[in-house]
Structure 1
């Protein structure tokens, strides 16, 4: 049964992912709070990013889109919950009707809505509010998810308290940038998370990873030089130019001061005019492709690196710097080589380093796959052994049943042979009786023919022996006299 049902399960999973994206991976993500607590302490509220010793990280619309497998629609995202609830619209979105109870599309819609309300946009534990359902119906959750992520981090920065919004997605994003092998992974049981993170440099981060396929990047919206975001709790902007390196592009210059100066964060109800302005801005999404942003090398030029280091001196990182856990690339002095060769060397070194990390990651995955396959093989062997034992018992029972059926078949064959012999004997007796009866009939017919001949002969002889009486004249005379006397006697006397 398992072999037959598996393709149907795969088809249903593909149908769900095709309609609602890869939100099931978020549902299955186990969030370790320690890495997130460490990450949040590096938040730079002015720039809307996480600033480390020589690099910056900031979640982007494109990365969230890749993680969830949901495209970003260049349209006005979620603005606010409608004042009046249209329950018919909700029923249609959730495929709710009496006729469709038990339909897989109904189950998929309700499962996706539950993930939206409980995991992606949680309001209260195990409850789906109308806000989550509204975002689910619009089908464009990425801008709202990123807005809630930034707003939750920014609004709680320096105030304490727990952050509940979008934690599985933020966790997956952060872990996708950290080294997947090498000393960083090897020291997870001997060093604290803060120590391991402080030991990382720009050289150690997995910049390209799965993001290399990103070609178009949302840089601005309308009159905003950054990207304004509207979440379920408030509005905030983020600066995608700080994240270009995460998407594989070269970071050559520091961000413009104007992009930093226009930063804002407010609750939606506090500034309805700005809220309306943001809604209009999303009707004019500014997208730049790779040809404008530059080649994909994920390299930071000295201008940008120096700017980040000066930023670190201003911010003061929350922990003391640690020595790198792995060997760093040799320093190339810009004054000893031309600027062009210096850039090429940096990019080539970065490319080789990325290739090495990818190779290590592939090796790690191959080893993990090998171990997983070994476990599967062992499980399959145990399952096969158990199945064989079960089959052996089944075969023994079947053999016993077949043996009993064979004995019964032999008994029936013997009985049939006995009946056939008896039938043949009876048929022989009938044939013999038929022959005897025919003989008796022939004898009787012969006897009847013989008797008939004798009767005929006797009749003939009898006829020959009968002598006719002689004619008598006296009798004739007497008859005549009687007639005469009759005429003489009156008729009344005679009567």
Structure 2
């Protein structure tokens, strides 16, 4: 909400002297926080003193600031610290904030027509590759041109929409008076539209979404939008979830949604530059159940045994063939001697 924890609270939570922590505070680009190197030195000092609980907290805080909620390079700001403390003391999941920063960065870069994506890139990469590649396939190192060709050739048939291993029974579809799901991150607020992502959660899409449910909004400066922040925060007290009413899980699109999607793609798709390499589409099947996997394992073991038996028979046949050849050779020699 723009009101970050005091130095005293941070020091108490981390088990560090408040005066020592205050001496390490810095300001970069108008943002308060701590440099990575100072927190690493603090963690080493705690490890040498045998204060392992405090050491783990400082290490986790570094990960929050550098990996999960990056802002200024090698700098852990108070926004990341606030989320870490919310998890440590109240067990509030950081996932909504990570999702908010990802959508916020994408939307901001799209509106400004370029710039650096600033969010948790490892999780974004994992999410992207989990849909783009078959499960269990090896992801090779690619250059920019190869990535561009792969991305521009993505289609409905080449995307793995849903993994049964996720086992999602209910989906958050709406919060409070919002027609979708508002998210609050470290850099601003943005809404998430489940109506456009329901297929990735394993449920079919039959009709076009209601326009209100996909209307985007953005909050850029959280210090000036306190009323909106309060509305978003209170909306999470009334979360609306859906499960069975979404239909039987199959990840298909039906009815008039396909036509609506085609028209929307023409309206919002990003322009591709340069020639696009046409790659033959391959259908990616849904992941198999455990029973199917076990059955395949049994069939594979049976095939391996049959292969070994055939290999053994082939060796025996070759040995017999060689013996017959030797007998024929010896017979020929005897005939020649007799002649």
The residue that corresponds to 1:277 in the other structure is 231
Residue of structure 1 equivalent to 2:280: 325
Question: Secondary structure in 2 aligned to 1:148?
Answer: helix
> 1:262 deviation in Å?
5.8
Q: Determine which of 31, 53, 76 is the counterpart of 1:128.
A: 76
User: Structure 2: how far apart are the matches of 1:300 and 1:106?
Assistant: 50
Distance in 2, Cα, partners of 1:109 & 1:119: 15
In structure 2, the residue matched to 1:260 is 214
Where 2:182 maps in the other structure, the secondary structure is: strand
Q: 1:106 to 1:122 in 2, by over 3 A?
A: same
In structure 2, the residue matched to 1:309 is: 262
Q: Note the alpha carbon deviations across 1:199-256, whole angstroms, 9 max, x for none.
A: 2221211111266312221111110011111111211111012111111111112111
Call closer, same or farther: CA 1:237–1:190 in 2, change over 3 Å. closer
Gap runs ≥5 in structure 2: 18-44, 297-339
- Give, in angstroms, the shift of residue 267 of structure 1: 2.4
What is the CA-CA distance between 1:144 and the residue it aligns to? 1.2
Among candidates 52, 59, 65, match of residue 111 of structure 1: 59
Q: What is the TM-score with the length of structure 2 in the denominator?
A: 0.66
Q: Is the 8 A contact 2:196 2:214 kept in 1?
A: no
Q: Distance in 1 between matches of 2:113 and 2:270?
A: 18
Counterpart of 2:148?
A: 194
2:46–2:52 contact (8 Å) kept in structure 1:
no
Post-superposition offset of 1:115: 0.3
Counterpart Cα distance in 2 of 1:91 and 1:186: 44
**Which structure 2 residues correspond to residues 26-41 of structure 1 after superposition, within 5 A?**
none
Aligned CA distance change for structure 1 residues 81 and 253 (closer, same or farther; 3 Å): same
Aligned to 2:323: none
Q: 2:244 aligns with which of 287, 291, 305?
A: 291
The CA RMSD over aligned residues, in Å, is 3.4
Mapped partners of 2:188, 2:143: distance in 1 = 39
Tell me which residue corresponds to 1:347: none
Q: Give secondary structure in 1 for the equivalent of 2:237.
A: coil
Q: Which runs of 5+ in 1 are unaligned?
A: 1-78, 329-349, 364-495
Q: Structure 1 runs of 4+ off > 3 angstroms?
A: 95-101, 180-191, 261-266, 320-324, 355-360
Task: Report the TM-score, using the length of structure 1 for normalisation.
Answer: 0.46
- Secondary structure in 1 matching 2:85: helix
Evaluate the alpha carbon distance shift between residue 256 and residue 128 of structure 1 in structure 2; reply closer, same or farther with a 3 A threshold.
same
| Structure number with higher helix proportion | 1
Whole-angstrom distance in 2 between the partners of 1:184 and 1:323: 21
Q: Distance in 1 between the 2:146 and 2:77 partners?
A: 38
Aligned length: 257
Contact 2:157–2:281 under 8 Å retained in 1: no
1-structure distance, mates of 2:7, 2:258: 52
